[in-house]
Amino acid sequence: MEFIAFTYVGNFVDRKVIDGVVFNVFDEANRFFDERDLPLRFLYIGRLKLEPGYLINLTTADGKVMVYPLEALVELLYSRLLREMEGQQGIRMNKIFALTTFPLVSRNRYFDFYEKFLGIHETLLGLRMMMLSMKPFEPEGLSKLLTTAKSSGNLDADAKRLVKLKLRLFKDRLLKGVLHEVGHSFGLDHCHNRCVMNSPASMEEWDLRVPDYCDDCMAKLRAALKEGED
């Protein structure tokens, strides 16, 4: 069995809601691996704490936003993973996955988003760091509904139903993002089949993707996992 450390960082309108979303997504990913008999699991290693000093203010078309520079996050994830590997000797783990509630940016062009919506990874001395910002996956209007719910303490039945639907969509999008990044981390490229490795041009397209690997990609993933066992 191979493990991928998973952690998350950031804040959200409602901490309880975000915790629920994050854990649900990783639970579903582990269930996915289990049901398909893939010798792979996520291992939760706790929330990631970033010093507030890391945050930078960025002026965008939508106004000022707080963002994390990627370089700082990569370094933090690297040392966090090393520490975890030292404490967990005897299990196979050389990858770490972080979900962030903040957008990620870099001053280094080399790190430029290689894809519009999906994650970023970086390999350092044989260790793989994967980062996925939750922000682009958040359905429109969700934050606002949750803010209203938090301040008024209540939502009417229609609004509650809407929150439920939007949270479901949020989780579906994230789960696919997680599976996509995991695929890359085992050497899978983009594919043109009905497959989660089929890279989208828009969020609408992403919503049409199936939360699964096609037969080709699945075979490659199995082979990569088997290779790691030898």
Q: Which stretch binds Zn ion (CB under 5 A): 6-14, 44-52, 57-65, 183-191?
A: 183-191
Query: Smallest gap, in angstroms, from Cβ of residue 185 to Zn ion?
Result: 11
C-alpha closest to that of 4 among 129, 104, 120, 100: 129
Number of amino acids touching Zn ion (CB under 5 A) = 7
Among 179, 195, 206, 220, binds Zn ion (CB under 5 A): 195
> Cα-atom radius of gyration of the chain, to the nearest Å?
18
**Whether 121 contacts 131, CB under 8 Å:** yes
Residue 169: half-sphere exposure toward Cβ, Cα within 13 Å: 18
Report how far residue 207's alpha carbon sits from residue 176's, in angstroms, rounded to the nearest whole number: 9
Asked if residue 43 binds Zn ion (CB under 5 A), the reply is no
Asked if residue 218 binds Zn ion (CB under 5 A), the reply is no
Asked if residue 217 binds Zn ion (CB under 5 A), the reply is yes
Residue 106 vs 185, nearer CB to Zn ion: 185
Which x/- pattern over 102-131 shows residues binding Zn ion (rule: CB under 5 A)?
Answer: ----------------x-------------
Calculate the CA dihedral of residues 146, 150, 152, 156 and round it to 10 degrees: 40
Asked if residue 98 binds Zn ion (CB under 5 A), the reply is no
Residue 74 vs 163, nearer CB to Zn ion: 74
Residue 84 vs 100, nearer CB to Zn ion: 100
Alpha helices for 88-214 (secondary structure H): 142-152, 157-185, 203-208
Asked if residue 76 binds Zn ion (CB under 5 A), the reply is no
C-alpha closest to that of 185 among 84, 65, 42, 82: 42
Query: Smallest gap, in angstroms, from Cβ of residue 144 to Zn ion?
Result: 30
Asked if residue 210 binds Zn ion (CB under 5 A), the reply is no
Report how far residue 193's alpha carbon sits from residue 196's, in angstroms, rounded to the nearest whole number: 9
Residue 19 vs 115, nearer CB to Zn ion: 115
Residues in contact with Zn ion by CB under 5 A are 118, 191, 193, 195, 197, 214, 217
